[in-house]
Chain A
């Protein structure tokens, strides 16, 4: 049987892990006789294979198996718990939840304070509008007044309440002085 160069190379690889059969050896000899230059290459392959086969193996320690079994038994006894990655994941999740709650709390507090401030401002503006109403129509102090010295503004005046509120940067006292002077 004639061998090709490729087959000889494959045989050289195979020779690393098994002895060649008689048929393979004779086919190889036939090839090497026909290709004398390939003989040195084959010889180098043989030497490499020989060296690889004789690489010294590391011996497992005498307690190798017992240590593995001890570790496995220890794992068996351990209560089931989250793997470190999962624990870390859940810790991160909890941290996120905590931050969320803090932001929500702070936000709610700011919103509440803002509402209180807004109400106080509305009340202040209402008082100012009442004062204006009292100046315009001083003869009608009603029993339903919240404060003895203030008159409830009439509905027409309250229609402009939002506009008056938006002018809160202008001093109400100045307006009142002006109204008094005009009267």
Chain B
């Protein structure tokens, strides 16, 4: 049966039996997508790191409750989303706690790395438009933002995203579409300027 398992689920079964190496493997594999989802949900890089670490600690603590029927990444991102929502609620209750949190405009460039493409994207990544799109993403309603980010990161299928968000498949597709349409509407002035070139055009 183990051969038919999703490799992550197989690792998680080993974690359930107390295998630290399997757990380390899962952390290594998912730390980056989890960290970035958390970061884009709460908007504070320092707290995002702590919260992302906490996500994995929760995974370890809840290992006994993991059922193979659920895809590991779906389960993981559901935990991540729930912890983020708790953090957002906590901040709403205690607004002073987040006063020092830097906004997306105060990003420290050294902390970010775009590994999706090589040199041609560097100019794009540094452009004002990137920070505008970052801001616009942050302003999206939470469920649209989460759906869009999970979709963008290619980790999950529509069905898995709908499980994380807790809505139907069609509602999830609609969330992703509406998120993109909202971004398009907000960024229209910048898109019209023509100073945003696709890679195809640059080449």
Q: Do A and B share a complex?
A: yes
Which residues of the other chain, B, contact A45 by a CB distance below 8 angstroms? 180, 184
Residue numbers in A under 8 Å from B32 (CB-CB): 57, 59-60
Complex formed: what's the CA distance from A58 to B49 in Å? 9
Is the contact region of chain B dominated by helix, strand, or loop, or is it mixed?
A: helix
Interface stretch of the complex, out of B4-12, B66-74, B114-122:
B114-122
Complex contact A56–B125 (CB within 8 A): yes
How many B residues, CB 8 Å from partner? 53
Bound Cα distance A67, B27 (Å): 11
Contact B180 A57 (CB under 8 A): no
B123 to chain A, nearest CB (A): 10
Task: Determine which of B45, B125, B134, B152 lies in contact with A16 in the assembled complex, contact meaning CB atoms within 8 Å.
Answer: B152
Does A69 contact B35, Cβ atoms closer than 8 Å?
no
Q: How many A-B residue pairs have CB under 8 A?
A: 126
In the assembled complex, the Cα of A10 lies from the Cα of B61 at a distance in Å of 39
- Measured between beta carbons, the chain A residues less than 8 angstroms from B36 are 57-58
Binary per-residue interface labels of chain A (11-47) against chain B in the complex, 1 for a CB within 8 Å, 0 otherwise: 0110011100000000000000000000000001111
Say which one of B52-60, B76-84, B88-96 lies at the interface with A. B52-60
Q: How far is the CA of A45 from the CA of B182 in the complex (A)?
A: 11
CA distance A60 to B39 in the complex (A): 11
Closest to A17 in B: B154
B106 at the interface (CB under 8 A from A): no
Which residues in A have their C-beta under 8 angstroms from that of B65? none
B125, chain A: closest CB distance, angstroms = 5
| Per-residue interface assignment for chain A, residues 50 to 64, with 1 indicating a CB less than 8 Å from any chain B CB and 0 otherwise | 111111111111001
Q: Would you give the shortest CB distance from A163 to chain B, in whole angstroms?
A: 68
Residues on the A chain within 8 Å of B171, using CB: none
Contact of B105 with A by CB under 8 A: no
A72 near B: Cβ within 8 Å? yes
A143–B57 CA distance with the chains assembled, in angstroms: 90
Closest to B23 in A: A72
Point out the residues of chain B lying under 8 angstroms from A72, CB to CB: 20, 23, 56-57, 60
Known: A44-B184, A48-B180, A57-B32. A68 touches B56 (CB 8 A): yes
Which of A58-108 touch B at CB < 8 Å?
58-61, 64-65, 67-69, 71-72, 75
Residues in B with CB closer than 8 Å to A67 are 53
Q: Which residue of B lies closest to A69 (CB)?
A: B24
Q: Do B130 and A51 touch across chains, with their CB atoms under 8 A apart?
A: yes
Q: Closest B-chain residue to A50, C-beta based? A: B198
Known: A51-B196, A65-B24. A56 touches B112 (CB 8 A): yes
Q: List 18 A-B contacts (CB under 8 A).
A: A10-B177, A16-B152, A17-B152, A48-B133, A48-B183, A50-B196, A51-B196, A54-B117, A54-B124, A58-B36, A59-B32, A59-B111, A60-B32, A64-B35, A65-B28, A67-B53, A69-B24, A69-B27
Report A's interface with B, CB cutoff 8 A: 9-10, 12-13, 16-18, 44-61, 64-65, 67-69, 71-72, 75
